[in-house]
């Protein structure tokens, strides 16, 4: 079935009177769609410019309302009151929901959101719906994101007076390749072509590289390599990277990330203030949703105020016999979220260790994202880097989109006579890639933080006597067992000549190009024979679609261990 396309005609398309004001008709825009807020930026010929909506806002809320027949997003819609967003008719947090199955803990934690999230716990797409005229209207995160992207595209087309096709989008480090395909699908539905999907801290690293290049240029010096740690924490995700920068080149030495963010902090505080929250709002009736919205707004306000003061009074009348009227202190807030902060600190230390750098060699600690204003977050990042103050050269909320806009200009082939676009990002692979072998083990072929492009090969052999077929099940992640990782796809190698187990050599090669496209090659070699037994198979990953949570169980049920592989103890080929 063909994908539904969402289109909005811009002023420049409908009147035919305006001419493009930019000399770069194919220039890609940069978009940072955060879990709670988004923004759009473009290279204007001399610098990065953030675009504004009709209400003169650079930062726009990431949501779509379904009050009328035509859904509207936070770009064009105007909320008369904050409660309107939490009335059941608006869907938000799409970046947290997209590409996840109904067994995912993030999906289960989203059941307290003020719209409908239902699960069957069988590894399929969750059921998501908005309340429209007292009827739950189902949708998907991809459709919601597509509607939102259409509005962003229309806004950009009106301001730039040209058709927008190409885009660079920022993404969380921890996104699986399946989630990336969902993002690309939403962009396609909105009529956008993705030039790059750029990890958020990598985008900030590119902006940092340009700034350091400018400093060197202004000082008329050659400049030396600077190492920076970039910590990005928004409403949905926490990402860290270590970058080495010199001469406009940003080499990503390590990446780490997880699905922890301001939404987790918010949920923790809400449950602390109202311990029976899940029971009170379990049925998701219209009145319950509105009450949930009241609690959410009050909790959000309290968290924001605790960034600048030691305590805050929280007052909420839930009109169902429950009232909250109490003081919440910063120390109490930090204790409630101790586990979140611990995970953040672990990501920072993991990234520093993976980068193989000494803390003393870190020149700058860069904090970006909305949650970087939380005092505890700032102190743990600065403490880990042994810094007194963070880097102050970029806006925490605009850093990622500015980096995306720079990458958009570079990827579009735009040059700048002053050298402001003489930039290069050497990206790294955020998650290890491998296959299922040696029983139920995950055997990495390309390890995380390997520089892209990359090509690695590993040899395997049969696990059973006279085995004539082998299953290549490709996974992504860091778990030692395959069920702890993301299944990307699978295929069979057939035509293996009957032989004692351990005799055939099954070569599996993984190739990632500069655009982060993964291809897996597999074929059979026999001792003493140069040519492969059958032509090698080449498969672009991922191949799984919706319902991929079922795939691993179905494969195990169908084949058991009959098509297993064992690792050959040979050196990996570069």
pLDDT-wise least confident of 178-192, 285-299, 512-526: 285-299
Q: End-to-end CA distance of the chain, in Å?
A: 41
Considering only residues 263 and 554, tell me which one the structure prediction assigns the higher pLDDT: 263
Query: How many beta carbons lie within 10 A of that of residue 41, not counting itself?
Result: 26
Distance CA(433)–CA(519), nearest Å, equals: 11
- Of 458, 457, 456, 462, residue with least CA distance to 438: 462
Distance CA(163)–CA(156), nearest Å, equals: 9
Q: What is the pLDDT of residue 9?
A: 34
Q: Residue 3's pLDDT band (boundaries 50, 70, 90)?
A: very low
Distance CA(437)–CA(471), nearest Å, equals: 9
pLDDT-wise least confident of 317-326, 368-377, 380-389, 396-405: 317-326
pLDDT tens string 226-264:
999 999 999 999 999 999 999 889 999 999 999 999 999
Nearby residues of 138 by Cβ (< 8 Å), 6 or more positions away:
127, 128, 129
Q: What is the pLDDT of residue 110?
A: 92
Number of H helices, E strands in the chain: 14, 28
Distance CA(358)–CA(237), nearest Å, equals: 26
Distance CA(504)–CA(462), nearest Å, equals: 7
* Ranges for all domains in the chain classified under CATH 3.90.640.10: 262-335
Q: What is the pLDDT of residue 6?
A: 47
| CATH class assigned to 262-335 | alpha beta
What's the half-sphere exposure (Cβ side, CA atoms, 13 Å) at 127?
9
Both tokens assigned to 186: 């939403």
Can you tell me whether residue 185 is helix, strand or coil?
Answer: helix
pLDDT tens string 104-118:
999 999 988 999 999
- Of 276, 272, 216, 278, residue with least CA distance to 247: 216
In this predicted structure, the answer to whether residue 355 has a pLDDT above a threshold of 60 is: yes
Superfamily of domain 431-567: Substrate Binding Domain Of DNAk; Chain A, domain 1 (2.60.34.10)
What's the half-sphere exposure (Cβ side, CA atoms, 13 Å) at 508?
29
Q: Are 225 and 244 in contact (CB under 8 A)?
A: yes
- Of 153, 52, 28, 48, residue with least CA distance to 402: 48
What topology does CATH give the domain 28-195? Nucleotidyltransferase; domain 5 (3.30.420)
Backbone φ and ψ for 479, nearest 5 degrees, come out as -75, 150
Q: What is the mean pLDDT of residues 343-350?
A: 97
* Residue that has been written with the tokens 């869907």 in this structure: 91
Element (H, E) at 454: strand 454-462
Q: What is the pLDDT of residue 10?
A: 34
> Percent of the chain, pLDDT > 90?
70
Q: What is the mean pLDDT of residues 384-392?
A: 95
Distance CA(129)–CA(66), nearest Å, equals: 10
Q: What is the mean pLDDT of residues 377-406?
A: 96
Burial of 415 (0-12, 13-18, 19+ CB in 10 A): exposed
Q: Strand pairing partners for 444?
A: 434
* Ranges for all domains in the chain classified under CATH 2.60.34.10: 431-567
pLDDT tens string 453-490:
999 999 999 999 999 999 999 999 999 999 899 999 99
Both tokens assigned to 370: 């909305």
* Ranges for all domains in the chain classified under CATH 3.30.420.40: 28-195
Q: What is the pLDDT of residue 72?
A: 86
Query: How many beta carbons lie within 10 A of that of residue 134, not counting itself?
Result: 7
Average pLDDT across the chain, whole number: 89
In this predicted structure, the answer to whether residue 18 has a pLDDT above a threshold of 60 is: no
Q: Are 82 and 156 in contact (CB under 8 A)?
A: no
Q: What is the mean pLDDT of residues 321-349?
A: 95
Give the burial string for 536-546 (b: 16+ CB within 10 Å, else e).
eeebebbbbee
Burial of 278 (0-12, 13-18, 19+ CB in 10 A): exposed
Can you tell me whether residue 110 is helix, strand or coil?
Answer: helix
Distance CA(369)–CA(456), nearest Å, equals: 35
Q: What is the pLDDT of residue 401?
A: 97
pLDDT tens string 413-463:
998 888 889 999 999 999 999 999 998 899 999 999 999 999 999 999 999
Distance CA(41)–CA(406), nearest Å, equals: 9
In this predicted structure, the answer to whether residue 530 has a pLDDT above a threshold of 80 is: no
DSSP assignment of 314-359, as one string? EEEE-SSS-EEEEEEEHHHHHHHTHHHHHHHHHHHHHHHHHHT--G
Query: How many beta carbons lie within 10 A of that of residue 522, not counting itself?
Result: 23
pLDDT tens string 281-313:
777 788 888 888 889 999 999 999 999 999 999
Q: What is the pLDDT of residue 80?
A: 60
């Amino acid at each position: 079935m063909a994908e539904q396309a969402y289109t909005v005609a811009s002023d420049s398309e409908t009147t035919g009177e305006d001419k493009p004001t930019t000399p770069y008709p194919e220039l890609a825009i940069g978009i940072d769609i955060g879990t709670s807020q988004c923004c759009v930026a473009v290279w204007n010929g001399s610098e990065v410019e953030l675009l504004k909506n009709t209400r003169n806002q650079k930062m726009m809320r990431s949501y779509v309302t379904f009050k009328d027949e035509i859904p509207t997003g936070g770009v064009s819609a105007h909320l008369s009151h904050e409660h309107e967003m939490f009335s059941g008719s608006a869907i938000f947090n799409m970046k947290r929901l997209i590409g996840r199955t109904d067994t995912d803990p993030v999906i289960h934690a989203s059941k307290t959101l003020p719209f409908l999230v239902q699960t069957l716990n069988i590894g399929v797409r969750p059921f998501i719906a908005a309340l429209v005229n007292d009827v739950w209207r189902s949708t998907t995160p991809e459709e919601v994101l597509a509607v939102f992207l259409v509005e962003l595209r229309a806004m950009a087309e009106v301001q730039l007076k040209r058709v927008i096709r190409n885009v660079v989008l920022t993404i969380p480090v921890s996104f699986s390749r399946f989630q990336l395909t969902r993002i690309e699908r939403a962009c396609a539905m909105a009529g956008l072509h993705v030039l790059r999907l750029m990890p958020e801290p990598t985008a900030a690293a590119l902006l940092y590289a340009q700034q350091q290049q400018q400093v060197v240029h202004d000082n008329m010096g050659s400049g030396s390599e600077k190492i920076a740690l970039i910590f990005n924490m928004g409403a949905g995700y926490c990402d860290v990277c270590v970058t080495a920068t010199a001469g406009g080149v940003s080499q990503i030495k390590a990446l780490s990330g997880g699905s922890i963010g301001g939404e987790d902090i918010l949920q923790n505080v809400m449950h602390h203030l109202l311990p029976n929250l899940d029971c009170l709002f379990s049925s998701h009736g219209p009145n319950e949703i509105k009450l949930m919205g009241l609690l959410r707004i009050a909790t959000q306000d309290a968290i924001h105020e605790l960034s600048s003061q030691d305590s805050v009074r929280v007052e909420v009348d839930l009109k169902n016999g429950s009232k909250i009227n109490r003081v919440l202190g910063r120390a109490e807030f930090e204790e409630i979220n101790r586990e979140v902060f611990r995970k953040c600190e672990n990501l920072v230390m993991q990234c520093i260790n993976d980068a193989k750098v000494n803390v003393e060699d870190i020149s700058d600690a860069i904090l970006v994202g909305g949650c970087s204003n939380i005092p505890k977050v700032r102190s743990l990042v600065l403490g880990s880097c042994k810094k007194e103050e963070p880097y102050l050269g970029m806006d925490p909320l605009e850093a990622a989109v500015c980096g995306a806009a720079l990458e958009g200009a570079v990827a579009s082939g735009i040059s700048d006579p002053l050298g402001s676009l003489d930039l290069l990002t050497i990206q790294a692979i955020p998650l290890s890639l491998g296959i299922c072998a040696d029983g139920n083990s995950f055997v990495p072929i390309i390890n995380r933080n390997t520089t892209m492009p990359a090509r690695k090969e590993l040899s395997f052999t049969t696990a059973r006597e006279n085995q004539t077929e082998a299953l290549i099940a490709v996974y992504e992640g860091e778990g030692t067992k395959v069920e702890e990782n993301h299944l990307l796809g699978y295929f069979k190698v057939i035509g293996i000549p009957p032989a004692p187990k351990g005799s055939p050599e099954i070569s599996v090669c993984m190739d990632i190009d500069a655009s982060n496209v993964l291809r897996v090659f597999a074929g059979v070699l026999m001792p003493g024979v140069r040519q492969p037994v059958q032509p090698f198979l080449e498969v672009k990953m991922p191949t799984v679609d919706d319902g991929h949570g079922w795939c691993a169980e179905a494969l195990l049920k169908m084949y058991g261990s009959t098509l297993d592989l064992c690792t050959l103890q040979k050196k990996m080929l570069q």
